[in-house]
Amino acid sequence: MFIHRRTVRIEFGDCDPAGIVWYPRYFGFFDASTAHLFEAAGFKKSEMPKRFGAIGYPMVDTCAKFHMPSRHGEDIVIESRVAEFRKSSFDVEHRIFKGEALAVEGWETRVWVGKHPDNPDAIKSRPIPEEVLERFARG
């Protein structure tokens, strides 16, 4: 299983007037962490159109469970992994730690997409390339 970890410093702009991370910012952290996860596996978003004919993997569902707040100036560690691949969609799990404590859990469902063959202004799901599946299976 391929897992990516990154450290994020909580900035002033991430926080609400109470001085804790404003909850939508976590979803921004999750989105960036998914991109970091794929890049660490060897798949940069900027190279996907040429390499796979794909234009991305937009999110179609997301949720989070908050266990404890994070505050300005703290460092958090975000651990991300693909929990399941299906034909054209996949689930990503994120766990945010403050030290050893689990602070936030997040889940995303994303779909591998390319340009729609009949409408260049639209997108259409595509099967996830075997190369991607194999790389994540190897860990």
List active site positions: 16
The separation between CA 126 and the C-alpha centre of its own chain, rounded to angstroms, equals: 19
Residue with tokens 């109470």: 18
Supply the DSSP string of 60-93, one letter for each residue.
EEEEEEE-S--BTT-EEEEEEEEEEE-SSEEEEE
Strand partners, 79: 5, 95
